[in-house]
Structure 1
Amino acid sequence: MTFSNRISPGSIRHSFQNFTAKAVKNKRGLTVAAAAVVAVSAVVTPVVVSNAYAEPAKQAAGPLSEVVKGSPIAPMALQHTAAQDSFDALAVAQITEQQVQGRADVTQLDSAIAALKSNYSSDSTTLHKLTVAADNAVTTANKAAVEHDAAVAAAQKAAAEAAAKAAAEAAAAAAALAQVNTPDGARSYAQSTMASSYGWGGDQFSCLNSLWNRESGWNYQAYNPSGATGIPQALPGSKMASVGTDWATDAATQIKWGLGYIAGSYGTPCGAWSHSQSYNWY
């Protein structure tokens, strides 16, 4: 049987008001009436408290009247108020526990809920302490849930920014590759690389341009039946793997290997071009 099936806050308040009125008229009946209040309060147990109960319960309880405060039943009225507050705290704690699952540690909430359920008939002082503990547990759980949500949002934002940055870098790399893989792009890359890596100027580039125009037309996909491959016509093409595994698809890798080969074998592009003019190969 649920709490709402046993007795409603409205009926408790109505009975309590009737009792107070009668107590004013007949003070000799206070003892009997007090016993009746105890009997009514005894059946109110916080087995299940619905979400809609909390606020009506607070309104139904109301402040103690001056008559009740000065009467022998004041302790029972105080007990009744403490019980109502504990029921409210239990309802809020149970709802909060459901809402923050997976977003906060509910250990403190579980303990507070269990304590309220097992001490609903305790004295008002104990109920007050349990109610305060439950309220504190709710505050702590809600704060933890908010912090969890903020951390998740920050992580998602960081991941999105990192993904966007990676995508932008990949797009830039793809654009650069597409550019260098054109004959004009390959020439531009070769001229800047030979200047920065070997100190060769425009005269040496003129020789290089003539050499690789003859060998491949600056086409990174050039292939000779002999097995010579790419812009520098490496034989075999797999030699260029010493510079990069992308030697078959990236003109920049081929150019780096070709410049290194020329420097090691002929000293300069003009030396390689001179040899090519004499022997038709280099």
Structure 2
Amino acid sequence: MDGPGLAAIAAGSIFTYAGVKGISVPQAVQSIVQGKSPADLPQTAAIGTPTSAAAAAGGSTDGGGGQIVQGGSAQATLQATAASFGWTGDQWQALAQIETHEAGFNPRAKNPSSGALGLAQALGHGNGSATAGTLGNEYGGNGLSDAQAKAANSGDAGAQALWMCNYIKSRYGDPVKAWAFWQAHHWY
């Protein structure tokens, strides 16, 4: 069996295990990467049911869902975050298209003319000094606590990915609709 075949089996096993145990896929993946057993994780909502990391951390719950994923590349982080919203397949492909055109999976990307920042190219959502980070103050709200927004404003891909997914969910409903808008307007 070749590498892609083994990778597909591993991914399927993780999705199945997470669903059976009632934990999220990102939690299962993150614990495996960290060398922890997924069996030791507390059970959460069943797979496909977003949970709010911000709420668990005492943060904002203004329509936010999903959870912050840490570790791996920015692309892997965004993909795992999207999966926590149930966005796989065509939804992930649409989100990847948006991201490729916006920031190219670079959490430190900054638009020189507008100041839009990070993966989501967020602009103007920061909340004063409570959310200002080392790169700017463009992330805030959309399910993030002030501390999480500060991390996003300092280049944290996990916090930026969660903000981006919550923003797309609240504004468009899903990435396919957001991508259709992007194609017509070249922004989202």
Q: TM-score, normalised by structure 1?
A: 0.34
Structure of greater Rg = 1
Higher RCO by CA contacts (8 Å cutoff, separation 6 or greater):
2
Q: When you count helix as a share of all residues, which structure comes out higher?
A: 1
